């Protein structure tokens, strides 16, 4: 079983409009709702790949009830979310059908009480006993300590469970110091963590700060990996147009599935890039275009070894 942690779960709402214009009314051509938050997106992709997944984090209020009801219909996903008094947040993505661009609106999430945080930590420790790997994903809701991920990383390491951390800002900085097995920042998050805007130097600096391996997401340029086994770049054959929401989460699913399957790094990276690109072609986060994924995985992703930064 793979465990994904989404402390700030969400109900993802996607609107599609013919063209998005500021200060104007819009006719919505399509609306979709899905369980959201980075770890839930990761879980749905993992389940689609055939991996059993347990999801935990927080859920509350009527929005949380909607999220849990939707999760119940996802084969391969077990709901172990911890209830809170506050209401789960909503995220709204507005997709401009003319340009393919997406505008994202994210609510902050419910305030988590100390007793609720303690209940989560107890549940998390119990779930680690059956986990082959764990992913700690996304933002922290109000009330959760800024060092929360650092503590969760240490708990996973003490249990002997490989841990992937995918967050940003101060939670990432503190979490890296706890020595996770893998972090997956994007270029901006990596620069904020290390102070370097040169990706190769920045990934090396992130490893020195404590991460065993670093896989940086560089948007259309693909992934850059800095690991104890080597350095690689992985990129799709061409830029893919569509809805990029959730593409990074699909990359996390590819890396996690490759880890538990003991794939070599180039194969993990090829899978992560193929899933990410195939997610851009899907209308909503947490799903991917399977035909495009299989085509890219078969012959479309270039993985090349990388030399040291000068």
Per-residue burial over 253-276, b = 16 or more CB atoms within 10 Å of its CB, e = otherwise: bbbbbbbeeebebbbbbbbbbbbb
Record the tokens describing residue 231, joined without a space: 């350095």
Q: Are 109 and 136 in contact (CB under 8 A)?
A: no
* Residues marked as catalytic: 249
Phi/psi of residue 57, nearest 5 degrees: 145, -145
| Contact yes or no for 92/120 (Cβ under 8 A) | no
Q: Where are the alpha helices (DSSP H) in the chain?
A: 38-48, 61-71, 114-128, 148-158, 169-177, 187-194, 199-208, 247-260, 265-280, 290-299
């Amino acid at each position: 079983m793979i465990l994904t942690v989404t402390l700030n779960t969400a109900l993802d709402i996607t609107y599609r409009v013919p063209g998005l214009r500021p200060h104007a009314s819009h006719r919505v051509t399509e609306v979709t709702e899905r369980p959201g938050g980075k770890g839930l997106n990761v879980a749905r992709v993992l389940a689609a790949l055939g991996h059993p997944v347990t999801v935990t984090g927080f859920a509350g209020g009527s929005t949380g009830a909607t999220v849990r009801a939707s999760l119940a219909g996802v084969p391969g996903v077990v709901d172990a979310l911890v209830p809170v008094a506050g209401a789960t947040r909503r995220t709204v993505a507005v997709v401009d059908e003319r340009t393919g661009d997406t505008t994202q609106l994210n609510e902050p999430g419910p305030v988590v009480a100390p007793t609720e945080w303690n209940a989560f930590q107890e549940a998390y420790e119990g779930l680690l006993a059956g986990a082959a790997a764990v992913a700690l994903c996304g933002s922290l809701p109000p009330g959760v300590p800024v060092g929360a991920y650092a503590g969760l990383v240490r708990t996973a390491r003490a249990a002997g469970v490989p841990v992937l951390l995918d967050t940003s800002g101060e939670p990432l900085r503190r979490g890296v110091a706890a020595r996770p097995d893998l972090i997956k920042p994007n270029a901006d998050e990596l620069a904020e963590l290390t102070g370097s805007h040169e990706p190769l130097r920045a990934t090396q600096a992130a490893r020195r700060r404590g991460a065993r391996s670093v896989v940086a997401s560089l948007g259309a340029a693909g992934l850059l990996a800095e690991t104890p086994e080597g350095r690689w770049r992985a990129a799709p054959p061409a830029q893919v147009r569509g809805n990029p929401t959730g593409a990074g989460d699909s990359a996390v699913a590819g890396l996690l599935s490759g880890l538990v399957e003991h794939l070599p790094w180039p194969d993990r990276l090829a899978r992560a890039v193929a899933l990410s690109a195939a997610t851009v072609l899907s209308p909503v986060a947490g799903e991917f275009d399977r035909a495009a994924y299989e085509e890219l995985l078969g012959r479309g992703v270039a993985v090349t070894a990388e030399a040291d930064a000068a």
